[in-house]
Chains A and B, each alone.
Chain A
Amino acid sequence: QVQVVESGGGVVQPGRSLRLSCAASGFTFSDYGMHWVRQAPGKGLEWVAVIWYDGSKKYYADSVRGRFSISRDNSKNTVYLQINTLRAEDTAVYYCASQRIEESDYWGQGTLVIVSS
């Protein structure tokens, strides 16, 4: 049974930093890339970042490059998203999702980040 569980969201003041975590189980985590996708309230999906299975490559959306950093710890089956200099427009549910595994991919339930003073 594959499980993906995000954590670390909350209410944060503009300009502060936050680190989101995503713990995965039920598959060989170190074999697969992992993504972050976000969804602002009432809006569509926005792909945010990806990290290769071994951490060797990382790509980011244009809107977050330079402020967001994705990383992983394969010994803990966990991927992270470091968000710096938070802005109001970063308010969203942040989802963690696996690379396609055979004929599916796996998403967590998301963690809500609210940027507000």
Chain B
Amino acid sequence: EIVLTQSPATLSLSPGERATLSCRASQSVSGYLAWYQQKPGQTPRLLIYDASNRATGIPARFGGSGSGTDFTLTISSLEPEDFAVYYCQQRSNWPWTFGQGTKVEVK
């Protein structure tokens, strides 16, 4: 199975700062990568699919990039509601897999 490694494990930032989250795949997933946001006690929410396409209702401050094995989720200016855990997911090969998550916390 494809292993996804997210870095850093925790990102400590202040509101208004830029967040850059990384996801690296153990083999190429082409562009078949998604990003999810999960807040405590809530269901995961799809942010980005196919590496760079924003899901319905996702603000423009969220951006995805990358292909092959290296992907990035960028939050251009953190809002208070953006502090959460973020997961990448590969949808290239079965079984699908998730990364271990990056927690974005308030500095």
**Residues of A at under 8 Å CB distance from B?**
35, 37, 44-47, 50, 59-62, 95, 100, 102-105, 107-110
Which B residues are closer than 8 A to A by beta carbons? 1, 36, 38, 43-44, 46, 49, 53-57, 85, 87, 89, 94-101
26 residue pairs of the A-B complex, CB under 8 angstroms, read A44-B100, A45-B36, A45-B44, A45-B87, A45-B89, A45-B98, A47-B95, A47-B96, A47-B98, A50-B96, A59-B94, A59-B95, A59-B96, A61-B97, A62-B1, A95-B43, A100-B49, A102-B56, A103-B53, A103-B56, A104-B46, A104-B55, A104-B57, A105-B46, A108-B43, A109-B43
CA–CA, A44 to B99, complex, Å?
8
A44: chain B residues at CB < 8 Å are 85, 87, 98-101
